[in-house]
Structure 1
Amino acid sequence: MKHIRVTVRPDLDRSPGFVAYLLDSPDVEEARAVDWNRADPATTTHLYAVDGDVAGFRDAATDTPGVESVALSAVDAARSYALLDVRDDVVPMFGVVEEALARAGLVVRRPLVYRDGRIHGHVVGDSGALQAVLDEAPDAMDVTLEEVGRFPSARANPASDLSDRQWEALETAVDLGYYNQPRATTHEEIAAELGCAPNTASEHLQKAEAKLINAVVESVPAGH
């Protein structure tokens, strides 16, 4: 079983208007395709998280032929969610991608991240299915393989590299509010829950945090 990290740079002139907006608008810091569902052979429902001007995104989506509806969770929040119904037969790029991904042997891991003109994602599956998807990529999408490796791996799932004790320390810290602002607990209180010395609890947390942070940093392409 393989895991690949992929970066896609769509041709903005040939992309749906709302996709071009997410990738190119200075009013959007970052967006995520959180999930999607092909409700019938022709229509797909997409859930996006937008960090930025979601009203502008709504307008771009409304003006895009093939977008049947747009619903927003909020307009003035720092992060808002948008639910779109898209006709795949009217938005060719989406239809081709949906067909390519709707095959046995692979899974696209959510979310897909839209940032700085590129879409970043992870796919898990057998080698044949993965290669078939790459071969069927539309001409309007420049696909780059950033990494190919086995699955599971620490980079595909950073939590898989944590020891049981490190994971327990993180869970306890979260439950007690250690990562709240301001912090709601101390190393001593975490240690009491874990049944160990405060220095040991601190060491578990530091090692777990280092593994997670390094995995995240390494997974982001240079220049973001």
Structure 2
Amino acid sequence: MKRVAFRVSYPPTAAHPIHRRLADTDEVSRMELLVWGPTAEVTTLSWYDAEPATVRELLTAVETAVASSTVAGDGGTYAFLHQSEYELDADVLDLVARSGVVFLPPVVFLDDGDAVFEAVGEQAELSRLYADLGDLLDTRIERVSEFRKPSSPARLTDRQQAALAAAEALGYYDVPRTGSVSDVAAELDCARSTAGELLRKAEAAVVREQLHRGGER
């Protein structure tokens, strides 16, 4: 199976109301649609690179909104939005619903009118999706790779996890560095050599996982 990253450009007439609003404000430039469902009535979870008050104002563009809530997090704002209907272009929504591929989160909507997403499927189905999308929107393929199942998270022992947490809290990973291995050892009440070994093994596991994930994209 293949994993393909698509970029499409929405004209204002086909864009979702929130996507249109992104182009009209300097306070929000990015929305990441994290969780959604292919139903007429659906609750979505999205993340915005803006403060909660700005996001709440942005959500007023959605006329079909039944309820919404926002939570600050990860340098921006998460928003739950329940709509009585998607308000996406009907032709695009129908194409997505009948496609023979799986769409991976997030779908990223940008303030220049573009949306970026990834789909997984057999080559013939992905080619058909590309052609069908091209009939409706300006569509580009940004990346093609083999699909592989996600790797298991790095397996850290409780002590390794504690060492990483202490190192981060004490400034060991700050730039410039403000904490030391000795500080970590004092926090964990262990020898400096033990703290150093815990950090090296934990860091090695995290780096291997990250490199493996990078090879999947």
Q: TM-score range by the shorter chain?
A: 0.5 to 0.7
Aligned residues: 195
Matched with 2:155 is 168
Structure 2: segments with no counterpart, 5+ residues: 173-180, 189-193
Aligned counterpart for 2:70 among listed residues 73, 82, 106: 73
SS in 1 for 2:154: helix
Matched with 1:60 is 61
Structure 1: segments with no counterpart, 5+ residues: 220-224
Matched with 2:33 is 33
Note if 1:144 corresponds to 2:120.
no
Identity of aligned residues (%): 17
How far apart, CA to CA, are the structure 2 residues paired with 1:99 and 1:111? 19
1:92 positional shift? 5.3
Matched with 2:83 is 85
Matched with 1:182 is 169
- CA 1:87–1:175: 2 relative to 1, 3 Å: same
Post-superposition CA distance 1:59-87 (Å, at most 9, x none)? 2123xxxx242412358994131313153
Q: What is the TM-score normalised by the length of structure 1?
A: 0.65
Matched with 2:91 is 96
Q: How does 1:34-53 map to 2 (within 5 A)?
A: 34-39=34-39, 42-52=40-50, 53=54
SS in 1 for 2:93: helix
Matched with 1:222 is none
How far apart, CA to CA, are the structure 1 residues paired with 2:33 and 2:88? 18
Matched with 1:110 is 105
Post-superposition CA distance 1:82-104 (Å, at most 9, x none)? 3131535xx351x3333222347
1:123 positional shift? 0.8
1:206 positional shift? 6.8
Q: Is the 8 A contact 1:23 1:114 kept in 2?
A: no
Matched with 2:18 is 18
1:7 positional shift? 1.5
Q: Is the 8 A contact 2:31 2:47 kept in 1?
A: yes
SS in 2 for 1:99: helix
Q: How does 1:124-139 map to 2 (within 5 A)?
A: 124-137=120-133
How far apart, CA to CA, are the structure 2 residues paired with 1:141 and 1:172? 50
Q: Is the 8 A contact 2:67 2:81 kept in 1?
A: yes
Matched with 1:7 is 7
Q: Is the 8 A contact 2:32 2:109 kept in 1?
A: yes
Structure 1, 111-120 or 200-209: larger mean CA deviation:
200-209
How far apart, CA to CA, are the structure 2 residues paired with 1:199 and 1:72? 39
How far apart, CA to CA, are the structure 1 residues paired with 2:99 and 2:34? 21
SS in 2 for 1:61: coil
Q: What is the TM-score normalised by the length of structure 2?
A: 0.67
- CA 1:179–1:122: 2 relative to 1, 3 Å: farther
